[in-house]
Amino acid sequence: MQILSGLLERFPARELEIRRLCIRDAEFRSVCEDHEVALKALQHWESVAQDAVRADEYRQLAGEIADEIAVRLDAASASVGAPERAKSG
């Protein structure tokens, strides 16, 4: 999936989680798409030397979206293990 390239660079150890969640969760997939759009905008504004401020804005935005994705991945991982913990407790 093209929309995952930036995320997979940032979270290589979580590739399988990211791919699985993208397949089954449309909202997560949408956030991943937002991240890729922000990265493409960042690349554009980094190439326009006169507008470093705009590039910084997109760098921050991409970072914030990546943080949100990490939180969603952690929540999904926790919910997958929750039934097993309940059975053993």
3-class DSSP assignment, residue 51: coil
Residue 61 lies in a domain: yes
Q: Which residue in the block uniquely carries the two structure tokens 């804005």?
A: 57
Please answer whether residues 64 and 35 qualify as being in contact, where contact means their C-beta atoms are separated by less than 8 angstroms. no
Domain that holds residue 54: 27-76
The token duo for 8 is 């997979």
Total number of domains in the chain: 1
Q: Which pLDDT does position 3 carry in this prediction?
A: 78
Residue 62 lies in a domain: yes
For the segment 25-51, the average pLDDT, to the nearest whole number, is 91
Residue 68 lies in a domain: yes
For the segment 24-40, the average pLDDT, to the nearest whole number, is 95
Residue 41 lies in a domain: yes
82: which DSSP letter? Answer: H
Residue 59 lies in a domain: yes
Residue 84 lies in a domain: no
For the segment 60-88, the average pLDDT, to the nearest whole number, is 81
Mean pLDDT (the chain, rounded):
87
CA distances from 49 to 3, 15, 44 (A): 26, 33, 10
pLDDT category at 2 given cuts 50, 70, 90 is confident
pLDDT in tens, 53-66: 899 999 999 999 99
Residue 13 lies in a domain: no
Residue 81 lies in a domain: no
Q: Which pLDDT does position 88 carry in this prediction?
A: 41
